[in-house]
Structure 1
């Protein structure tokens, strides 16, 4: 297959037949202008002819990126959880499409994507959020390459900002005891008690049903969560490993029994006004407790107890840290938290390891040398 190079005003162009229909004989020709010299045009033509000969040439896709991304997301959303899908949709709608949506898929370049990533950093988005947006771009563009819509993944060489890990804030044993003492009279005491003693996430707590609690065996089976906005129940959990069973403390079983009796009294008092979702943590009429209301109560009680200000999610970290400091096998801690791998647990709570190392050395010294 041959092509030709010729003068085009003050510049040069090349022209080549890239495909011939075997039935009609119709030729598809490609022409590219804008080369400043004949040598540049010949060099570009040689690259194209080599791709045609080796059957690696791809006709550039003029599909707008936002159109391709919408199709990609329809497939992707079936492979991820509901919460993750909502996050993807938000990142695509408010960040990716406004900046990159109108580019033809084939016109996206590493420089264009790098400038976009840099703009997100300049806007003040956290490095973790930027990484999530990058992952969406990388995943979708890689898929386009696999489908042979584009010749290469232009996102793979984009440089990301260094992700700084926020220091985990936890309460020590005395601070936990002090908080729970002040929270004792709160209607939502059981939520705080479970968070500290099981490491359950907020959505897992607010989606917990009595049918998933076995008070006789002292276990909880996590099979449902509440969405972040408090509007939907989600079957399953954040990840496959998050669908798990947690063994309860003896005191936690006692607290749950007491709480259940209170729920039954409220149900009788409300009568037909009670909406029974079988929730462990709910309003006095059985309806879903708003995540915001739970956080508001948590902050107020923390202030009242005069303990260090932490996030509600840090109660989960407090649970994990306490177990590790007690010398509990990290594998067990990972299972209670619903981590897919013990390495995730060790990486997240690496700040605890030096203390564990010191304690292990002291114990071994005592065993060997008295």
Structure 2
């Protein structure tokens, strides 16, 4: 599957952190994810294309699975995704996020915008459609377990590790850190209650080479 305006071209090659393996963070590299996404798109002539779109969304936004599956077309303004509530299938009810920082807007790339438009085109022709429908699932929210099963099948098909869905959030952060994004901006994007939480989880991925600091103070 050809991907126009491929955002991965802007990313540096990634490696799993070696200095602190005890952190247990599982990282899916852009190369691995592109293979995974294409294989899921192609599976049985597109049977799981919508599932593939969910995984793309998770990888490119860093949202939690509960957030991504709760987003409706009403929450998309053309450039940003607005996260202000979550729908829980088991409870059949909407609830506000746990912390005020979880209520946020997330900028999305053109490919992800195109995917949302693709989802809109799919569901907007159905009877009784309105913008309160879920972007992924339509009238009814998708089940996370169905996504997990499909993920494992594709991983086995590609002979790659069965990564956890939440690892896509870690991978998103790793990509941003590799690209030099400020940790404060990353924390806001993730919806963490404080930057300290972000640093506690991902601090070991930050560059510890202080040559840039020495260069900055060398003219004092």
* TM exceeding 0.5: yes
C-alpha separation in 1, matches of 2:77 and 2:152: 30
Correspondence for 2:87 among 226, 231, 239: 226
Structure 1, gaps ≥5 residues long: 1-164
Are 1:204 and 2:67 matched, yes or no? yes
Counterpart of 2:4 in structure 1 is none
What do the CA deviations read for 1:23-47 (whole angstroms, capped 9, x no partner)?
xxxxxxxxxxxxxxxxxxxxxxxxx
Tell whether 2:185 aligns with 1:332: yes
Could you tell me which residue of structure 1 aligns to residue 143 of structure 2?
Answer: 290
For the residues of structure 2 that align with 1:364 and 1:260, how far apart are their CA atoms?
Answer: 51
Structure 2, unmatched stretches of 5+, are: 1-21
Structure 2: distance between partners of 1:338 and 1:213: 17
Compared with structure 1, are the counterparts of its residues 180 and 243 closer, same or farther at alpha carbon in structure 2 (3 Å cutoff)? same
Partner residue, 1:240: 100
Higher relative contact order (CA 8 A, sep 6+): 2
Q: Secondary structure, in 3 states, of the residue corresponding to 1:308? A: coil
More strand, by proportion:
1
TM-score of the pair, normalised by structure 1: 0.47
Query: Counterparts in 2 of 1:99-248, with a 5 A limit?
Result: 167-184=24-41, 185=46, 186=48, 187-215=50-78, 218-227=79-88, 230-248=90-108
Map of 1:280 onto structure 2 = 135
TM-score scaled by length of structure 2: 0.77
Contact 1:191 1:281 in 2 (8 A): yes
Q: Among residues 264, 275, 278, which one is paired with 2:124 in the alignment?
A: 264
| Residue-pair matches, total | 192
Structure 2 distance, partners of 1:174, 1:367, is 37
Structure 2 matches for 1:56-75, cutoff 5 A? none
SS across alignment from 2:86: strand
SS in 2 for 1:226: strand
